[in-house]
Protein backbone atom coordinates (compact mmCIF):
# COMPACT_ATOMS: atom_id res chain seq x y z
CA UNK A 1 0.00 0.00 0.00
CA UNK A 2 1.48 3.36 -0.99
CA UNK A 3 2.37 5.91 1.65
CA UNK A 4 -0.01 8.76 2.26
CA UNK A 5 1.64 11.99 1.18
CA UNK A 6 0.09 15.37 1.99
CA UNK A 7 -1.05 17.23 -1.11
CA UNK A 8 0.93 20.31 -0.08
CA UNK A 9 4.13 18.29 -0.14
CA UNK A 10 3.52 17.12 -3.70
CA UNK A 11 2.13 20.40 -5.02
CA UNK A 12 5.19 22.27 -3.78
CA UNK A 13 7.38 20.07 -5.96
CA UNK A 14 5.53 20.65 -9.22
CA UNK A 15 6.99 23.19 -11.63
CA UNK A 16 5.89 24.46 -15.03
CA UNK A 17 8.68 24.00 -17.58
CA UNK A 18 8.08 24.01 -21.35
CA UNK A 19 4.41 24.64 -20.58
CA UNK A 20 4.28 21.24 -18.90
CA UNK A 21 3.74 20.31 -15.26
CA UNK A 22 6.88 18.48 -14.17
CA UNK A 23 8.62 17.21 -11.09
CA UNK A 24 12.41 17.41 -10.92
CA UNK A 25 14.50 14.28 -10.55
CA UNK A 26 15.54 14.96 -6.95
CA UNK A 27 11.93 15.49 -5.83
CA UNK A 28 10.70 12.38 -7.62
CA UNK A 29 13.57 10.37 -6.14
CA UNK A 30 12.62 11.60 -2.67
CA UNK A 31 9.01 10.48 -3.16
CA UNK A 32 10.21 7.08 -4.35
CA UNK A 33 12.65 6.83 -1.44
CA UNK A 34 15.79 6.53 -3.55
CA UNK A 35 18.82 8.74 -4.12
CA UNK A 36 18.72 11.10 -7.09
CA UNK A 37 21.87 9.50 -8.47
CA UNK A 38 20.20 6.08 -8.47
CA UNK A 39 17.10 7.41 -10.26
CA UNK A 40 19.19 9.17 -12.92
CA UNK A 41 21.35 6.08 -13.48
CA UNK A 42 18.25 3.92 -13.93
CA UNK A 43 16.79 6.39 -16.42
CA UNK A 44 20.02 6.62 -18.41
CA UNK A 45 20.30 2.82 -18.56
CA UNK A 46 16.73 2.65 -19.90
CA UNK A 47 16.58 5.94 -21.84
CA UNK A 48 14.51 4.43 -24.68
CA UNK A 49 11.68 3.86 -22.20
CA UNK A 50 11.45 7.59 -21.48
CA UNK A 51 10.15 9.50 -24.50
CA UNK A 52 10.17 13.30 -24.38
CA UNK A 53 6.54 13.45 -23.24
CA UNK A 54 7.55 11.46 -20.13
CA UNK A 55 10.94 12.95 -19.29
CA UNK A 56 13.41 15.51 -20.56
CA UNK A 57 16.62 17.08 -19.31
CA UNK A 58 16.53 20.80 -18.70
CA UNK A 59 18.69 22.96 -20.93
CA UNK A 60 21.26 25.19 -19.23
CA UNK A 61 19.00 28.18 -19.92
CA UNK A 62 15.94 26.49 -18.40
CA UNK A 63 18.01 25.43 -15.41
CA UNK A 64 19.31 28.95 -14.79
CA UNK A 65 15.81 30.38 -15.22
CA UNK A 66 14.43 27.87 -12.71
CA UNK A 67 17.24 28.61 -10.24
CA UNK A 68 16.68 32.36 -10.56
CA UNK A 69 13.15 31.94 -9.19
CA UNK A 70 14.65 31.19 -5.77
CA UNK A 71 16.48 34.45 -5.14
CA UNK A 72 15.59 34.61 -1.46
CA UNK A 73 15.99 30.92 -0.68
CA UNK A 74 19.05 28.82 -1.39
CA UNK A 75 17.42 25.72 0.10
CA UNK A 76 15.66 24.66 -3.10
CA UNK A 77 18.75 25.02 -5.26
CA UNK A 78 21.35 23.70 -2.86
CA UNK A 79 23.37 20.84 -4.25
CA UNK A 80 22.21 21.37 -7.81
CA UNK A 81 25.36 21.45 -9.91
CA UNK A 82 24.01 19.60 -12.93
CA UNK A 83 20.95 20.21 -15.03
CA UNK A 84 18.15 18.10 -13.61
CA UNK A 85 15.79 15.78 -15.40
CA UNK A 86 12.15 16.79 -15.45
CA UNK A 87 9.46 14.11 -15.28
CA UNK A 88 5.92 14.73 -16.47
CA UNK A 89 2.80 13.63 -14.62
CA UNK A 90 2.76 10.37 -16.58
CA UNK A 91 5.63 8.92 -14.52
CA UNK A 92 4.87 10.36 -11.09
CA UNK A 93 4.21 7.73 -8.45
CA UNK A 94 0.67 6.85 -7.55
CA UNK A 95 0.43 8.29 -4.06
CA UNK A 96 -2.66 8.82 -2.03
CA UNK A 97 -3.18 12.47 -1.39
CA UNK A 98 -5.29 13.78 1.45
Q: Is 53 helix (H, G, I), strand (E, B) or coil?
A: coil
Q: What pLDDT is recorded for position 97?
A: 40
Domain that holds residue 23: 4-97
SS3 breakdown of the chain: % helix, strand, coil, rounded to 5? 40, 20, 40
pTM of the model: 0.72
Give how many domains the chain has, as a whole number: 1
Q: What pLDDT is recorded for position 8?
A: 79
Angle made by CA atoms 68, 69, 72, in degrees to the nearest 5? 90
Write out pLDDT tens, residues 34-77.
999 999 998 889 888 877 778 898 998 888 887 777 655 555 55
Amino acid sequence: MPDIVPMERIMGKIHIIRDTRVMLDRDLAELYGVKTKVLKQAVRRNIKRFPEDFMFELTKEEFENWRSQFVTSNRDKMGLRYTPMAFTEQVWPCYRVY
